[in-house]
Amino acid sequence: MKTLLSVLSVFCFICILSGCKTQQSLPVGDTSENALDWEGTYEGTLPCADCEGIATSISLDREGKYVRTTRYLGKSEEKFRQEGRFEWNPAGNTISLSGVDDAPNQYLVGENQLFHLDSEGNRITGALAANYVLKKVVAKTNHPLLDAKWVLTDMEKFPDEDWNAGEIFVFLEEESSRLHGFGGCNNFFGVYELKTGNGLELGKIGRTQKYCQDEMQAENFFFAYLEQVRYYLVEGDTLELRDESNKLLLTFTKKSGDD
């Protein structure tokens, strides 16, 4: 009897020292929760049975809170906003939004994207699978690239003496996602899209139709480079625009104002 009591005493003492608890073990290894930069805002348009689509925005923060905004395209301009908390599943790869009772509320968390899951928590397959993905967007407020006049200082593979430094510039508007500028002869305008990982795409660029014999070659060269831009790098007052392979195309210097 004394021997049994001694064994039990030793076991209890070991449990006290090791903090014995009947708790669920945490996931081992990298998970979406601990390995991805998942905090931020995700946007997309989900399929809709009786409308043109459901414009959806979900913001997640590190405290476990979410804000979900939806709008039924083609039916109303009204936006529906929900706030609450989200929880990770034991595997650390899927979140559930509390308080969302009128639609599936689970999302698989991937690299810069959320996969909208069905009512049973499964990935949606088939022809429309790609439409059930929300993409992470870049916050534009106080972004160093935006609402600044960037004056061209260098074009790779084009002689500096063949164009007028200080004239060509680009300006990306924060509020409207539009851009405008001057190419050396013509004014130009278009739209831009910021992407994660310093991604940048410039699209639908148009320009006035003025002809300047001495400036046209440089301007055409400049516009050809704008079409190739996929990445940007801002260091202080210097902006670099780079192509898909991260090769430098254009270098700019920041100027105050928009004139």
More confident residue, 115 or 103: 115
Residues 210-236, mean pLDDT to the nearest whole number: 93
Cα separation of 30 and 44, whole Å?
27
What pLDDT sits at residue 101?
78
**Nearest Cα to Cα of residue 137 among 240, 41, 251:** 41
Q: What pTM did the predictor assign?
A: 0.63
**pLDDT higher than 60, residue 259:** no
217: Cα separation from own chain's centroid: 35
**pLDDT higher than 90, residue 93:** yes
What pLDDT sits at residue 160?
73
**pLDDT higher than 80, residue 206:** yes
What pLDDT sits at residue 28?
52
Please report which confidence band the pLDDT of residue 25 belongs to, taking 50, 70 and 90 as the band edges. Answer: very low
* Percent residues over pLDDT 70 in the chain: 87
What pLDDT sits at residue 103?
76
Query: What is the radius of gyration, based on Cα positions, of the chain?
Result: 27
What sign does the CA torsion over 17, 19, 25, 26 have? negative
Domains of the chain listed by start with CATH number: 32-137 (2.40.128.640), 149-255 (2.40.128.270)
What pLDDT sits at residue 96?
95
Residues 192-196, mean pLDDT to the nearest whole number: 88
Please report which confidence band the pLDDT of residue 29 belongs to, taking 50, 70 and 90 as the band edges. Answer: low
In sequence order, the 6+-apart residues with CB closer than 8 A to the CB of 243 are 228, 229, 230, 231, 249
What pLDDT sits at residue 102?
73
Cα separation of 26 and 13, whole Å?
25
More confident residue, 111 or 9: 111
> Residue 124: is it exposed, middle or buried by C-beta count within 10 angstroms (0-12/13-18/19+)?
middle
What pLDDT sits at residue 1?
46
Residues 31-52, mean pLDDT to the nearest whole number: 90
What pLDDT sits at residue 257?
54
Residues 189-216, mean pLDDT to the nearest whole number: 90
DSSP 142: T
Summarised one tens digit per residue, pLDDT across range 1-15 is: 444 444 444 444 443
User: Which run of H or of E encompasses 227?
Assistant: helix 216-228
